[in-house]
Amino acid sequence: MTEEELNAKIRKAAPQGRMPCARAFQLAEECGLSRARIGELLNELKIKIVQCQLGCF
């Protein structure tokens, strides 16, 4: 999967610019990425993590 395809998939999963933490974890697994990397990508795309499972956001 190219970076462009990955970014499109992430944006599609977060249409309002917000993504629940559990969905971010699921997306990381689907794409074969670490949770840290998906977090970095969300930050780069300015997508806010909501409903954080760790209570950090």
Structural domains in the chain (count): 1
Residue 46 belongs to domain spanning: 3-50
Residues 17, 31: Cα–Cα separation, whole Å: 19
**In which band, very low, low, confident or very high, does the pLDDT at 1 lie, cut at 50, 70 and 90?**
confident
Residue 20, phi then psi, degrees to nearest 5: -65, 145
pLDDT recorded at residue 52: 78
| Model pLDDT for residues 33-57, shown as the tens digit of each residue | 999 999 999 999 999 999 876 655 4
Greater confidence (54 vs 22) lies with: 22
Mean pLDDT of 6-16: 94
CB 25 within 8 A of CB 52: no
Is residue 55 situated within a structural domain?
Answer: no
What are the structure tokens assigned to 5, written together? 């395809």
Is residue 12 situated within a structural domain?
Answer: yes
Is residue 57 situated within a structural domain?
Answer: no
Mean pLDDT of 10-37: 94
